[in-house]
Amino acid sequence: FHLSVFCSFQIHTWMFAPTAASYFWSRNDSEIRGHLHHPIIGNAFGGGFNDECMMVGERDYSSFLAVPAAVELFKSFGGGGAKAAEVICRRNHDLVVMEALELAEMWGTEIGTSSDMCTSMVMLGLPACFGSTWECANDLQKELKANHPVVINACYPAEGRLWVRLSAAVYNYREEYELFGQAIMLLKSEKEGGELERRDSSKWKNFVSAWKKESRRDIKKESKK
């Protein structure tokens, strides 16, 4: 961090802690830290960034107390330590790129950048029939959430179409992406006046048990390489 001014990341996103657990670091520089303040001003205002963040209203600290256990869980993949991060990152990258390319082929679209520039997230183009405005993006998100077992939180209009952010974590399984792909194909078919047989919804109910059997097994295999 010696060249950085600030560094932050969400522990609840990538290291499995409860929502709101995150990490923030700043260079030990009095001029920089003197300008850092918590957005909610309290009695500790002006006492330093650490003090200002300590007791903020009726905050629930349980997510922060769970961080040590989350870190240990993270380290348990791939043999522990730095190797765990390497195994997880490689597995997530390979999974999201593979699934993004398969979905792009299924939908007749493309990914937003070359696979070697992706980490564990890929921007994936949606079929043109879904429109190209923020209103279209909101409509698609509502339709998928209401009538399909799919929730997409990042859907953006750009270059004449909608783009969805596809990501992968250790708890994601290939069948989830397949169901997402089929849901989009079903809606695409309906918009174009055709018919598409809906996939068996029991596959969605069974993906958790399938993940336990296959996904963790794959990570353990990677850790032995």
Angle at 88 between CA 84 and CA 100, to 5 degrees: 170
pLDDT in tens, 128-160: 999 999 999 999 999 888 887 788 888 999 999
pLDDT score recorded for residue 133:
95
pLDDT score recorded for residue 201:
46
How far is the C-alpha of 15 from the C-alpha of 64, rounded, in Å? 12
pLDDT in tens, the chain (225 residues): 455 677 877 887 777 788 778 877 777 776 777 777 777 777 777 777 777 777 666 667 788 888 888 888 888 876 666 678 888 888 899 999 999 999 999 999 999 988 888 888 999 999 999 999 999 999 999 988 888 778 888 899 999 999 999 999 888 888 889 889 988 998 888 887 754 444 444 544 454 455 445 545 554 555 455
Dihedral sign computed on CA atoms, order 188, 194, 199, 205: positive
